[in-house]
């Protein structure tokens, strides 16, 4: 920037740029930001069944809702136009949905429990970003799902409390450059139908967990898990085949 420009003008430009950056990471446009924040401010705090009923009706103005859903007070939503909730979805108090383009889709009768965070965080325009959750599933308390590389969770799959899922990773091959200046990988994570993920499990980018598998509490999953398999440990290793095979 020109050094002859007065300091207060340079500061004003920086402030404007910061505001534009902030809004761009909260909603699809300034107009959408103002509209979504108005709706969330007016109706997001209302307690009891009255609040749940109001939000089930009014939130249709800012997000895609199919059938009757239940949204408790204090649920935070960003990029609401990129969120789709199917019939019977329940969002508990303190849930945070950030659907930065790529979107969040939650299937029928799926429960997202209190203080779970579903965050797409697609600020690098990655092609497969998004979070997709099937029907009749459960996202437990304080779970964290990061979806820049794409996260798919199947039907009737349960995540116990404090499960972390990461669908991207930083490269650090060049020791002369800070890792934040290097590329990232974003292969995505898939958890197939009817899996049970134990409490405080960490699932890393590039992993597929096969249908009907169980991941023991505290495991760190860095490699694919075959279907109908129990895995445990750090890193997670196969303990046994759940179909009785050796």
**CATH code for position 113:** 2.160.10
Question: 146 with 183: CB under 8 angstroms?
Answer: no
Q: Is residue 231 part of a domain?
A: no
Q: Does pTM surpass 0.85?
A: yes
pLDDT tens for the chain, 246 residues: list them. Answer: 455 656 656 667 777 788 888 888 899 899 999 999 999 999 999 999 999 999 999 999 999 999 999 999 999 999 999 999 999 999 999 999 999 878 999 999 999 999 999 999 767 777 789 999 999 999 999 999 999 999 999 999 999 999 999 998 877 777 877 877 777 788 999 999 999 999 999 999 999 999 999 999 999 999 999 999 999 999 999 999 998 765
Q: What is the rounded CA–CA span in Å between residue 70 and residue 89?
A: 6
Q: Is residue 147 part of a domain?
A: yes
Total domains, the chain: 1
Vertex 132 angle, CA 130 and 137, to 5°? 150
Q: Is residue 165 part of a domain?
A: yes
What residues are labeled active site? Answer: 170
Q: Is residue 1 part of a domain?
A: no
Range of the domain at 128: 48-211
Q: Is residue 64 part of a domain?
A: yes
83: closest CA among 71, 159, 189, 206?
A: 71
Q: Is residue 179 part of a domain?
A: yes
Q: Is residue 80 part of a domain?
A: yes
Q: Is residue 237 part of a domain?
A: no
């Amino acid at each position: 920037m020109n050094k002859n420009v007065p300091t207060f003008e340079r500061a004003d430009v920086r402030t404007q740029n910061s505001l534009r950056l902030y809004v761009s990471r909260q909603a699809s446009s300034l107009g959408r930001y103002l509209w979504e924040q108005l709706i969330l401010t007016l109706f997001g705090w209302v307690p009891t069944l009255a609040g749940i009923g109001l939000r089930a009706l009014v939130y249709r103005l800012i997000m895609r809702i199919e059938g009757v859903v239940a949204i408790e007070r204090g649920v935070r939503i960003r990029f609401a136009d990129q969120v789709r909730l199917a019939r019977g979805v329940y969002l508990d108090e303190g849930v945070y949905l950030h659907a930065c383009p790529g979107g969040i889709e939650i299937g029928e009768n799926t429960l997202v429990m209190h203080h779970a965070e579903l965050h797409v965080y697609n600020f690098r325009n990655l092609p497969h970003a998004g979070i997709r959750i099937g029907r009749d599933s459960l996202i437990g308390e304080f779970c964290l799902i990061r979806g820049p590389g794409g996260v798919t969770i199947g039907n009737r799959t349960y995540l116990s409390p404090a499960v972390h899922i990461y669908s991207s990773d930083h490269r650090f091959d060049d020791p002369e450059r800070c890792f934040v200046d290097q590329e990232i990988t974003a292969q995505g994570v898939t958890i197939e139908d009817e899996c049970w993920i134990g409490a405080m499990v960490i699932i890393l980018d590039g992993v597929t967990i096969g249908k009907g598998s169980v991941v023991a509490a505290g495991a760190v999953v860095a490699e694919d898990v075959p279907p109908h398999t129990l895995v445990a440990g750090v890193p997670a290793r196969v303990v046994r085949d759940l179909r009785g095979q050796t």
